[in-house]
Homo-oligomer: A and B are copies of this chain.
Amino acid sequence: MSDEQVKYTLPESEIPTHWVNLLPDLPGDPIPPLNPQTQEPAGPDDLTPIFPMGLIQQEVSPEPEVEIPEEVREAYKLYRPTPLFRARRLERALDTPAHIYFKYEGVSPAGSHKPNSAIPQAYENAQAGVRKLATETGAGQWGSALALACSLFGIECEVFMVGASYDQKPYRRAMMETWGATVHRSPSNLTQAGQSQQSHPTGSLGIAISEAVEVAATNDDTNYALGSVLNHVCLHQTVIGQEAMAQMAMAGEEPDVVVGCVGGGSNFAGLTFPFVRRVLRGEARTRFVAAEPSACPTLTRGAYRYDFGDTVGMTPLLPMYTLGHDFVPPPMHAGGLRYHGDAPMLCGLVRHGVIEARAYGQNTSFEAAVRFARTEGIVPGPEPAHAIRALFDEAEAAKQAGEARVILLGLSGHGHFDMAAYDAYHAGRLEDVEFSEADMEAALERLPEAPAIA
C-alpha cells in the first residue's frame, strides 16, 4: 500500500451554503413543462395542490444560486460533508495510469444521496404546516430518505413502494417503518391509480408516483414529494458536486471525466452540475458520462419528447428522453434505475452533447461492483455499479491512450439492502434483459399529444 492520502474530508463549516441552480446556464431556449389540458406552460398554480410554495419557488428560480436554509444545513451535518476517496488499490488492480477518485454518498443514515433532497423537502413542507408527505420509492432509497427526513421534522410519511422492490427488499420496508413511515406495496388497492394498474403486479416507479400524487391531490393536509427528475431535486443534490470540487482541489487535481449512474438523474445532476457550469461558461473542458441499465435505457434509446412523469398521467408534461410513461421495465435489482424518463435539465444537456450516455447490463455491472468491493472495501449499490462499469471503460481508455487522466466517480450509495442481488449474481442467476424495440414503438404511439421539441 501507498502512504499517500486515501480520503479527503471537509469540516462541517464547508457544507455548501448555497445550491447550484443550473437553469440559467442551460444551452438553448428554455423548454417549459406543459399543462396537459391547455398545452400551455405549466406555472406555479399547477403545482400548488401537491407542493409547498418554498419548493415551487426553487423549481422555477432564475437565480444561479439558491441559499440553503440554516435548518437544512444543520440536518445535513448528520452525514455531510461526505468523503472523497482516491481509489489507489483499484487503479493498481486495473493497471491503469488514470487517477480514480470517488465521492461516496453511502455514509448518510439512509445509505444514499437521497437525504440531500429529502431533508429540504421535509423542511419546506413542515414550514408550510403540511401534516403528511406521500411519495413513491423504487429501490427503497428515496422512501428511506424521506422517512428519515420526516422523522427529523416531525411530519408523517406514507410510501408507495414498487412491487418488485417491495418483494425483493423487505428490509428496506422495515427500515422505513423504523423511522416511523407507513409503507404500501404498489400497485395498491388504496388509490384509483393503483386499482387501474393491477395488471402490472411488479409495479413501476411511474405507477407508484401516480398513487402518491393521487393521495396528495385528494387530501388537503397531505403533499407529495418526488425523489428525482424535478429541477428542485437536482438543485438540492448539488451539495455533492460542490463538495467534490473542493475535495478535488485539496487533492490538487481537476477531473477530466465525471462518471455517474442515472435513474431519474438526481444523483448524476448533483455530482456533475457544478462541474457542468464551468464547462458551459468556458472555464473547463470536462467530459461527463451517464451510465444507465440496458433494460431501461432512457437516455440511449428513448425519444426526446413531452411525456407525463407518472404512468396514469397526473403530472405536467415534461420535456425528456422517455421510453413512454406506461413503460413497465422488467424487474431488475437496480430498482433505482427503473424509471421511464429522466430529469428534463439532464436530458437537455444530453441533447446538446454536454453529457454522454451509455447503457450496461446488470451482470457486467455486478462484476465491476464485486471488483470494486474487493479493492476499495465498499460494497456498492446496484445503481452505482453501472457507473463503476463505465468507470472501468474510462480507465481502460486512459491506459490505451497512455494518459494519467483524472476520473471522478459518483458512488451514490452502498449495497447493504441489495445483497440478494449480489447473491443471485454470485450464483449465476442474474438475467440480462434487453430493451425491446417493439416496446419502444408501442410506447411512442401512446405518448400524450404535445408540441414537438425543437
Tell me the A residues contacting B by CB distance below 8 Å.
1-3, 5-7, 9, 11-12, 70-71, 74-75, 77-79, 85, 89, 107, 109, 111, 148, 151-152, 170-172, 174-175, 177-180, 370, 373-379, 416-417, 419-420, 422-423, 426
Contacts and interface: CB of A to CB of B under 8 A. Distances in A.
Contacts of A377: 78-79, 109, 148, 151-152
A426 B2 contact: no
B12 A7 contact: yes
Contacts of A180: 374
B6 A420 contact: no
A365 to B, nearest CB: 14
Contacts of A378: 109
B374 A1 contact: no
Nearest to A123: B1
A133 to B, nearest CB: 16
A3 B74 contact: yes
- The secondary structure that dominates the A interface is helix
Nearest to A6: B77
Given A7-B77, A12-B6, A74-B6, A152 B89 contact: yes
Given A2-B74, A170-B419, 5 more contacts: A3-B74, A6-B78, A170-B423, A171-B420, A177-B426
18 contacts: A5-B77, A6-B12, A9-B11, A78-B376, A109-B377, A151-B373, A152-B377, A171-B423, A174-B422, A174-B426, A175-B416, A177-B422, A178-B419, A178-B422, A179-B374, A179-B379, A180-B374, A416-B416
Contacts of A177: 422-423, 426
Number of copies: 2
B151 A374 contact: yes
Nearest to A366: B178
Contact of A9 (B12, B75, B379): B12
Contacts of A426: 174, 177-178
Contacts of A74: 1-3, 6
B107 A370 contact: no
B420 A417 contact: no
A155 B179 CA distance: 40
Contacts of A379: 109, 175, 178-179
A109 B380 CA distance: 10
Contacts of A107: 107
Contacts of A2: 74
Contact of A419 (B11, B175, B423): B175
Contacts of A77: 5-7
Nearest to A80: B7
Nearest to A148: B377
A373 B178 contact: yes
A433 B89 CA distance: 46
B179 A373 contact: yes
B374 A3 contact: no
A377 B175 CA distance: 11
Contacts of A7: 12, 77-78
A63 to B, nearest CB: 24
A7 B178 CA distance: 23
A3 B416 contact: no
A178 B6 contact: no
A379 B417 CA distance: 13
B416 A111 contact: yes
